[in-house]
Structure 1
Amino acid sequence: MTQNKRAQIGLLMNVTIFPAHNGDSFLIETKGGTVVLIDGGYVSTYKEYIKPKLLELSKANKNLSHLIVTHIDSDHISGVIKFIEENKQNEIIKVEDIWHNSYSQLKSIEDGLNFKGKTIDNLPINYLLKDGVDDIKNKNISAVQGSTLASLIKKFGYRINAHFSKNIVSVDTKEHILSNDIAFKILSPNHEKLLELKKYWKRELYKKGYSSDENLTDFNEEVFEYILSLEKEKKRLMSKNVTAKSSMDIDNLSNEVFVEDETTTNGSSIAFVLEYKNLRILFLGDAHPSVIVNSLKKYYTPDKFPVKFDLIKIAHHGSKNNTSPELLNYIDSENYVISTNGLSHNHPDPETIARIINRKVEFTRKLYFNYSLDSNVSFKDKVLMEKYNYQIIESSNNQPLELSLSYE
C-alpha cells in the first residue's frame, strides 16, 4: 500500500521513492510541471516501477526535466542504463538534460599520473547490469549483460551536464542552478573528490598492467565505468563488523565514534538541495558528510543552523559512515527517507537512526522506509518513540512510497 501524506490545499510537490532493493531511485514532480528522476536502482526497478510511471507522464505531455545520476554504482545506475537503452530517441519520454560525471568530464582534472603498459584496447570488458531480483535466502542480485551509460548517452545524442556547460557536476564548477521553476544548490562532489576518483581508476589500470595516459577514446569511457563498478562490488563483498547489542540504547548508539566513508565512488556522489517556491528538500546521494558540511556553510549563515528542510534523503541507505553527528548539527527535518531493503551490509545502521532521533525538538520526526525492515522492530518500541518523539513509517507490499509536500 502506498503511503501518502497529502494536503488537498497548497500541494506543491510529490516525491516518489521507488522500491529499489538496496539501491536508490526517486521521482520529483512539482505543481509547475517539472519532473526530476534521481538514479534508477536496478533493471527490475526500472521495468516494474519507473518505466510505467514515465509512460504515464509522457501521456500527460510531460517531459523528464532532469535525469540525475548521482554516481557510478550498480544500485543507482543499472536502471538508468536500461532506461536510456530503451528510450533511444525519447521513445518513452523526452529527457531534457542528464547530470552525470563520466570520464569525458573528468579529463579536465589534472592528476599527474601516467603509467606505461599494455594498450587499454586489449582490456577485456564484461559489463554486467544488476537486475535486482532478490534471492531472499542467499541475498543475491542477478546480473544481465549491458552497455555502459556513457556510451549510450553519446550514441543517442542526449544533452549532458548542460547547466554546467557540459563540464563536471561539482560544487566547485557551479554552485547555484536555476532551471524551469526549480533551483538547485550543489553540495557534492567537489573537485578534490573527483580527482580521487580519477586517480583510483588510473591506479587500478596500473595494477592490471595497462597504460594510463591522457589520450581519450570512446573506449576509455567504457573502461572507466567498468573499473569503477568492479571497485564497488569488491567492497560490498567485505564482511561488516557489527557489534552485538542486547538492547536498543539510543544514547550509546548515537555517541559511538564516527568514522567517515572513504569509498571513492561514494565520494564522487552528486548531492544537492532542491528548492521549489517555499519548499526545500535535501538529497544526499551516497556523499561524504564532511563535504556536505563545508558546502552548507557556503549557502547558509551560522544563525540559520540547523537548516530545516521539508524532506531529507539520508545518504548511502542509512550507513553509519555517511551520517555524522556534525552533519546533523547543521540539518533537520520532520521527514527523513531511507532507501533500502536491508539485504546489503544490513543497512540501515542503528547508529544512523539513533543519531537522527537523539536530538530534542518540538516537532515529531517521521522516518520513512521504502521497505518493511526487520531491523526497525526495535525502533518501533512505543516507549522509545514517545521518549524521542519520532515515528517509523514503512511501505508495505513493496509498493512505491509517496510523500506529498505542501504549504499550510
Structure 2
Amino acid sequence: MKNNIFSITISVFPALNGDSLLISYGTNEKKHLLIDCGYVITYNTYIKKELIEIADNGECLEKLIITHIDSDHIWGAMPFLKDNQEKFIEIKEVWHNTFRHLLNDTEKEENSSNKEEKIIKNILNRGYFNNELKNGENQISAEQGTTLGALILKGDYRWNSDFNQKAVCIENKQTVNVDLESQIILLSPDKEKLDNLKTLWESELTKYDLKYSKEEEKLYDDAFQMLLTWIKESPVKGSQPISSNKIQMEELLSLAPVEDKTPTNGSSIAFILKIKEKKLLFLADSHPGLILKSLLEYQPEDVINFLSCLFI
C-alpha cells in the first residue's frame, strides 16, 4: 500500500570507532546514499541486511561515498564490493579519491622505472598495518587486489564520473544534482588539501629510496592505500583526551581550539545534502577552517539551519 508521504531517514550503523551512514529519502521509491562503511564487522552485521532490503524493494544506491582513506571508514566497503561482484544491488556512482586522482594530466603521461615498480611491489608485499580490534578480528588481508580502488575497477563502477573521473574536490565541481528534489553541495576537499595528501605520499616513498612515481597503474593505487594505513599520525599538538569526570563544559569552552592538520583527514569529502528545503551537513573528518570558508561562500549572510549535522 502506497502512503505517498515524503520522509528522510538517517541510519547510523554501529562501527566501533569508525563511521557509516545510510541516508534514505522520498515517498514510495526512495533514494539512498551510503556514506562510509566502518569496519568489516559493520558491513557483515548491519549494512549488508539493509542493502539487501533496498535491492529487494527494487531500489539502488544513488551514491557510495567513501570520504577518505582511513581503515574505520573504508574497510567495510571492501567486503561489500567483493559481495557485489554479482551486483546484488545497483550502485549508480562511487565517490572516492585515491592515488590516480592526485595526478595532473602531464604526470599521468610519464612512465615509471623498473626500480619504482620493485619498490611499489615491496609496499604491496608488506600489505596493511595489522590494525586488529580488541575482539581479535583481523579486518583485511594483505593479498593483492583487496584495496578499494582495485575492487571499484573490477566492478566497473562509475567512479567519480560526476567529476569527469577526476578528484572529488570543490575546484572540479561544487554542486551535483542527485535528482530534481535533491543535490549535494561539496565543502571539502579542495585542491590544496589533496596536494597535502600527495606530499605525504611522496615523503613516505622517500623512505623506500623512491622520490616519486608518476604512473597511473593499479599497483600504485593499491600501494597508496596500503601505505597510508602504516602512517602513524601524531595527535594534534596541545590536544588531550576528554573525561566527563575531570573537565566541565566551562573549561572546554575556555580552551583555545587547535585544528587538526593531518593530510588524510584534510582530504575528507564533506558536503551539504539538500533535500527539498531541508539541509543535512556531513563533515567526515574534514578540517574546520576549510568547512567554515566553504559555508561562508555558500551562504555569506544569515544562519544556515541544518536538519542534521554529522561529524563522521
- The verdict on a shared fold, with TM-score over 0.5 as the criterion, is yes
- Tell me which amino acid in the other structure corresponds to 2:62: S
C-alpha distance after superposition, 1:66-124 (max 9, x if no partner): 0000000100000011111111141x21110000011121112889xxx9994233342
Summarize the alignment of residues 176-325 of structure 1 with structure 2, pairs less than 5 Å apart.
176-180=175-179, 181-231=181-231, 233=232, 235=234, 241-242=240-241, 247-302=246-301, 304-305=302-303, 307-314=304-311
- Tell me which amino acid in the other structure corresponds to 2:203: R
- For 2:90 and 2:131, locate their aligned partners in 1 and report how far apart those are by CA, in whole Å: 24
- Tell me which amino acid in the other structure corresponds to 2:64: L
Q: Is the 8 A contact 1:75 1:130 kept in 2?
A: no
- Tell me which amino acid in the other structure corresponds to 1:84: L
State whether structure 2 residue 98 is matched by structure 1 residue 98: no
- For 2:151 and 2:244, locate their aligned partners in 1 and report how far apart those are by CA, in whole Å: 47
- For 2:265 and 2:189, locate their aligned partners in 1 and report how far apart those are by CA, in whole Å: 9
Summarize the alignment of residues 8-407 of structure 1 with structure 2, pairs less than 5 Å apart.
11-32=6-27, 33-90=30-87, 92-108=88-104, 118-122=115-119, 123-124=121-122, 125=124, 126-128=126-128, 134-135=134-135, 142-145=138-141, 147-180=146-179, 181-231=181-231, 233=232, 235=234, 241-242=240-241, 247-302=246-301, 304-305=302-303, 307-314=304-311
Q: SS state of the match for residue 281, structure 2?
A: strand
Structure with the higher fraction of residues in strand conformation = 1
C-alpha distance after superposition, 1:320-363 (max 9, x if no partner): xxxxxxxxxxxxxxxxxxxxxxxxxxxxxxxxxxxxxxxxxxxx
- Tell me which amino acid in the other structure corresponds to 2:95: W
Cα RMSD for the two superposed structures: 2.9
Q: Is the 8 A contact 1:71 1:265 kept in 2?
A: yes
| Alpha-carbon spacing, 1:128–1:85, altered in 2? closer, same or farther (3 Å) | farther
Q: Is the 8 A contact 2:39 2:139 kept in 1?
A: no
C-alpha distance after superposition, 1:361-404 (max 9, x if no partner): xxxxxxxxxxxxxxxxxxxxxxxxxxxxxxxxxxxxxxxxxxxx
- For 2:238 and 2:139, locate their aligned partners in 1 and report how far apart those are by CA, in whole Å: 22
- For 2:220 and 2:159, locate their aligned partners in 1 and report how far apart those are by CA, in whole Å: 18
TM-score, length basis structure 2:
0.86
Q: SS state of the match for residue 308, structure 1?
A: coil
Q: Is the 8 A contact 1:129 1:145 kept in 2?
A: no
- Tell me which amino acid in the other structure corresponds to 1:279: K
Q: SS state of the match for residue 143, structure 1?
A: coil
Percentage of pairs with the same residue? 31
TM-score, length basis structure 1:
0.67
Tell me how far 1:241 sits from its aligned partner. 3.7
| Alpha-carbon spacing, 1:200–1:179, altered in 2? closer, same or farther (3 Å) | same
Q: SS state of the match for residue 75, structure 2?
A: helix
C-alpha distance after superposition, 1:119-173 (max 9, x if no partner): 23334224348897543xxxx7633315111111111211101111111101111
Q: Is the 8 A contact 2:129 2:229 kept in 1?
A: no
- Tell me which amino acid in the other structure corresponds to 1:301: P
What stretches of structure 2 of length at least 5 have no aligned partner?
none
Tell me how far 1:190 sits from its aligned partner. 0.5
Q: Which has the higher contact order (CA 8 A, sep 6+)?
A: 1
